[in-house]
Amino acid sequence: MSLSILSALSEDLLVRVYEFLDPPCRKTWRLVSKEFHRVDSLSRTSITILRVEFLPVLLSKYPNLTSLDLSVCPKLDDDVVSRLALDDTVSTSRLKSLNLSRATAVRARGLETLARLCHALERVDVSHCWGFGDREAAGISVAAGLRELKMDKCLSLSDVGLARIVLGCSNLNKISLKWCMEISDLGIDLLCKKCKDLTSLDVSYLKITNDSIRSIALLPKLEVLDMVSCPLIDDDGLQYLENGSPSLQEIDVTRCDRVTLSSLVSIIRGHPDLQHLKASHCVSEVSVSFLQNIKALKHLKTLWIDGARVSDSSLLTLTSSCRALTDIGVSRCVDVSDIGMMGLARNCSNLKALNLACCGFVTDAAISAVAQSCLNLESLQLESCHLITEKGLQSLGCYSKRLQELDLTDCDGVNNRGLEYISKCSNLRRLKLGLCANISDKGVFHIGSKCSKLLELDLYRCAGFGDDGLAALSRGCKSLNRLIISYCGELTDTGIEQIRQLEHLSHLELRGLKNITGAGLAAIARGCKKLVYLDLKLCENIDDSGFWALAYFSRNLRQINLCNCSVSDTALCMLMSNLSRVQDVDLVHLNRVTVEGFEFALRACCNRLKKLKLLAPLRFLLSSELLEVLHARGCRIRWD
């Protein structure tokens, strides 16, 4: 394209063209000319930064950023943030969203600096920052305009820190406190009194009592309440919600052991506009009262009652009343059979997601009925449904053209002919075939040749799967980003080397493959440059040549499992030194690595590790200085 033509295109027009491009095309776009590069700089609103040294330059280059993801930037700490604040070329005035998940080295000083630096900040994620405590919460509280805050598994956060946040950020409308084990009724009560605009609240796994539910019931705008596995909540607590939280549309009480159907009935009575009810593994059976009251929920879209005793007649009554259902979970409901499922298929033709895992009486007849009636089906979970055979899968291949996710884990009746039928579901994105003993390369070939859109594939312990099948997948499923082939004992370097064709692969599990060597791993490292997660546990025959290749080519790796591998001192040191983005490492039972080898390897990466697994005796053999540095940087060590 000549300069004269480029000059004739206005900046507004170029921006409109840019907005139609997907991310890979945008990357190419900005290399075409200075004009295109300028449009990219002005139009880009979100960025994920992998290396901390590029942070100031990129923030200066993209002045209109509204979303910044630093969750995979391993060397980020308070000092980096302080230097950023002193850089006059950096503009963060438009930033609204900040992801600091797993940024364990950013503490109170850094968080306060960021909160003051980003004046327009509305959303912050500090999940899995295990050192995030009350002082860090005080730093976050400076961001008075905060609307959404995610603090999952901030294990050091107590009611004191939560109080600082709610007093400083009273306009919060979404907050997640999942796994914040130090939060009690006192903190939840203050949260509910000060943040009246809350629309979404997650208190899953907290040891709060019914007093917290009484406080939550006073929230007038609450729409979503997640309280998975809250062991101290019972029916008396949920009774408060019958006449409280008038805007409630979604509630999840999965695995709340003290909750029974009586309290769910009270919630249903008080909220006729409820759209999503998730009560998996907390009710023993579906009662007549429940069935009578659920008829009032004309807008119910999601119903999870996994683990309950649900008779066919109950399922028929339920689905005939709630015809708007699009997501149903009845896994481990032992009484569900073909009769109930056929009725479900007739009544809920708009169904998009169905979980039938471990429903042992469901046969091909039920699957055929669902496939023929529910043409919008996108997700189907059939794990351990041992009566499903190729006949049911034939119906899925014929009718379920929108199916994107299929779980057939541990289904004895699945064979090669069944995979041939499944391959006709050309829109499949996720397929699980783990523990399917009757499939082989012949069946997998059909998947590889017809399911080109496949993103995730699980073939865990598929003994009949070998090199030819893996070659077919590597040729045909170029978009794969997640592949699990652990304990597929027939695989050798011949097949493993074909994985190099999967350029988009980010998650790879090779656990227990004893026939692969350094040559196979080297081929993967050279071809799969986007690998983020790699599991090599029990790959005992990989020598240092494979690990050297990994150190040189796999610079994007963030998590690696090397347990029971034959890596040497030198190779381990090279890996830990070169893999500049690695944050999570398992290093158990490395028989060729000495204490000195561990010491040098960990010193090479101690400023970026977030999680580390080591044998317990090393606690007393590694230097105390090294362990103190790891702890100071926010690294959690699991002593095995």
| Rounded mean pLDDT, 519-536 | 97
DSSP bridge pairs for 208: none
DSSP bridge pairs for 533: 507, 559
Q: How confident is the model at residue 1 (pLDDT cuts 50, 70, 90)?
A: very low
Q: Give the integer Cα–Cα distance in Å for 474 and 495.
A: 9
| Rounded mean pLDDT, 615-633 | 94
Element (H, E) at 595: helix 595-605
How remote is the C-alpha of 232 from its chain's centroid? 27
Percent of residues, the chain, with pLDDT higher than 90: 85
Q: How confident is the model at residue 33 (pLDDT cuts 50, 70, 90)?
A: low
Q: Would the pLDDT of 552 be above 90?
A: yes
Rounded to 5°, the CA angle 300-303-304 comes to: 165
Q: Would the pLDDT of 18 be above 70?
A: no
Of 575, 507, 513, the closest CA to residue 539 belongs to 513
pTM for the full model?
Answer: 0.92
> Is the distance from CB of 237 to CB of 210 less than 8 angstroms?
yes
Q: Would the pLDDT of 303 be above 70?
A: yes
Predicted confidence at residue 334, as pLDDT, reads 85
Range scoring the smallest mean pLDDT among 31-35, 56-60, 328-332, 385-389: 31-35
Q: Cα(first)–Cα(last) distance of the chain, in Å? A: 61
Percent of residues, the chain, with pLDDT higher than 70: 95
Of 74, 134, 137, 128, the closest CA to residue 102 belongs to 128
Of 613, 618, 611, the closest CA to residue 634 belongs to 611
Q: Would the pLDDT of 228 be above 80?
A: yes
Q: How confident is the model at residue 36 (pLDDT cuts 50, 70, 90)?
A: confident
Predicted confidence at residue 6, as pLDDT, reads 56
| Rounded mean pLDDT, 55-80 | 90
Q: How many CB atoms lie within 10 A of CB 406?
A: 22
